[in-house]
Amino acid sequence: MAYQSLFPRDVFAELDRLQRGLQQAFDISPSIRGLSWGGFPAINVGSTPRSVELYAFAPGVDPASLDVQVEKGVLTVAGERKADALPDKATMHVDERFAGRFRRVVTLPDDVDANGVEARYRDGVLHISVPRREDAQPRRIAIQ
């Protein structure tokens, strides 16, 4: 995300911000779909033996505009965040928040059940839960 501050006295905060940005950039693991860091919405993915959990950080989005699709093992999150209209004679001092259409794509593991996908939007986070198939569950084999 490109941060730009128009406060002239904010040089140190700007340096701090840059440092944090760099730190965050190096903390993440590389993805096959290229530079995923910095996109909107930011996505965290977690997995358990029973499901794959996806968290898309998309605050201020009308839930009706969100589109979640699973096709051929690829999950797509798309939507739009509309920019608020600027009031009359107003000045934008800092403009960092994302506005516009967005789309992010995540490859799912092979063992998921695309029919059981659940999506919830709460506190600005879209939580998508993708269950793994029953026959892919780890099983304990009884020894005769």
Partner 1 sequence: MNDQSTPVARQAATAQAPAEPALLPPTDVIEDAGGITLLADLPGVSKERLHVNVEADTLTVEGEIALPTPEGMEGTHVEVTRPRYRRAFTLSKELDAAKVSAEFANGVLKLRIPKAEHAQPKRIEVKIA
Nearer to partner 1, 31 or 137 (CB): 31
Which amino acid is residue 139, in one-letter code? R
Residue 99 CB, shortest distance to partner 1, in Å, is: 9
CA 23 – CA 25 distance, rounded (Å): 5
- Assess contact for 54 and 40: CB atoms under 8 A: no
Burial string for 4-33 (b: 16+ CB within 10 Å, else e) reads: eeeeeeeeeeeeeeeeeeeeeeeeeeeeee
Q: Residue 130 CB: number of other CB atoms within 10 A?
A: 22
CB 45, min distance to partner 1, A: 4
- For partner 1, the binding residues (CB under 8 A) are 1, 3, 17, 20, 24, 27-29, 31, 36-37, 41-51, 53, 55, 57-61, 84, 86-98, 106, 121, 123-125, 127, 129
Residue 64: CB minimum distance to partner 1, A: 12
Specify the residue, 88 or 143, whose C-beta has the smaller distance to partner 1.
88
Between 46 and 142, name the residue whose CB sits nearer to partner 1.
46
For partner 1, the closer of residues 70 and 125 by Cβ is 125
Cα-based torsion angle of the residue sequence 84, 85, 89, 94 in order, rounded to the nearest 10 degrees: 30
In angstroms, what is the minimal distance from the CB of 86 to partner 1?
7
